[in-house]
Amino acid sequence: MKVTPFRGIRYNQRIVGDLTQVLCPPYDVITLEQQKLYYEKSSYNAIRLEFPKCAGGSPDYNGAAMNFRKWLKDEVLQLDSVSSFYLHDHGFEYSGKKRVRRGVIARIKLEPWGSGMYPHEETFSKAKSDRLQLLRACRANFSPLLSLYHDPEQRIGPLLSEASRAKPVVEAIIPSSEITKGQNESGETLTLWAITDPEIKQVLSQLLSSQSFYIADGHHRYETALAYQQERAEGKSLTGKEAFQYVMMELVDFFDPGLVILPIHRLVRGITSSTLMRLEAQLRDFFILESVTLKANSPEWPGLPDDCCLGILGLQPNKLVVLRRRPDISLETIMPGNRSWVYHEFGISILNHIILDKILNITSKKDIAYTVDVKDAYQQIEEGKYQLAALVKSPKPEMVKFIADAQDRMPSKSTYFYPKICAGLIINPLE
């Protein structure tokens, strides 16, 4: 993979003031209600570029492009004078512990899957269509993809540590009330350095270019970038240096202490009363069930034991039902035969194929919702909005690598890399 520095576009803080007023999360975690709130925060908020409001039922891609060009003209956004790698420290609190995820934002040469770039999760075509239309209109990346690399000799980390001794170009604190998904009680800190030293850039480019990368967050955007590259390249004589042949990524070491992957739990409805009555007995055909009592009104999440595959809320009142595989039953005979052993072991795969497909026969995607918040899942069960919640364990970073190396993919919405990288922190022009 070819990894290079680039001249990023950044907000001019002399005009926009507080940077936290103009940043927003990436499009895929923003609800329509949150979209409205970000529009109201500032007339320069990146929401107008990343997730433009709908006009007549369709997102206003042309409006996003007009804003982007105008902000560049008015110097609300400014192109850096020197190409840089951007070192990004993203501070947050998780499980009562302060953490910092360190990544380097760079341009990555687009290559087909399997040529140094590996996916780990299935994607939806609708999201890819939306992102492609935005790329066509704006010709820029407004938020970086997140990818992981493995540096066992630890040659890259010391370079980044050295770069972090310089003066940052950005320091910002995002209050907890403004963070999507509400996992972080103490807010987030953003620190950004521009690495401009020619020698360091050359060494860093060489070291990173020797790596393989595993997409953590941004499968849709990578596949969209490949499609956009093909469109722009058609019928042209290329040098390989064209900006549209690259995509912006934040690169993080697999073993970075700040790397956190949250599980994405499933909420299920549309189950007939007769099916729900038979469910516990049918589950016993495949699993050993254990009931864990939860505290009324304020359930404490006990977590899922390492030896289980799933937990179910809603099956028994005020109880979490823990599912363990029965040693005398082979689930592999029911799972798809063309998938890897890692896929067969994954909790969401078991949920999809054994419980949702075989037992419950859930066919409509409208009957399934997703959440990373166990309390939210419990509340939606209590309020009767959904009948069951299937809770899954946090995927390990090595599982992402295993399934990608096996040239397989986890089911869609299997991983939530937390926290999300803000849109608008760095913009990558594709002209």
Query: Are the C-beta atoms of 372 and 261 separated by less than 8 Å?
Result: no
Residue 84 DSSP code: B
Question: What is 118-134 written as a DSSP string?
Answer: E--B---HHHHHHHHHH
238 falls in which pLDDT band (50, 70, 90)? confident
- Assess whether pLDDT exceeds 50 at residue 260: yes
pTM above 0.85, yes or no: yes
End-to-end Cα spacing for the chain: 21
Tokens of 402: 């295993």
H or E stretch including 59? strand 58-59
- Assess whether pLDDT exceeds 60 at residue 415: yes
Query: Are the C-beta atoms of 155 and 220 separated by less than 8 Å?
Result: no
Burial class (CB in 10 A: 0-12, 13-18, 19+), 345: middle
pLDDT at 128: 77
Query: Are the C-beta atoms of 80 and 10 separated by less than 8 Å?
Result: yes
Query: Are the C-beta atoms of 286 and 331 separated by less than 8 Å?
Result: yes
pLDDT at 13: 95
Q: What is the pLDDT of residues 183-233, one digit of tens each?
A: 555 689 999 999 999 999 999 999 999 999 999 999 999 999 999 999 999
Using CA atoms, how far apart are residues 142 and 67, in angstroms rounded to an integer? 13
Of 65-79, 99-113, 168-182, the poorest mean pLDDT is in 168-182
The dihedral built from the CA positions of residue 210, 249, 223 and 232, taken in this order, carries a sign that is: negative
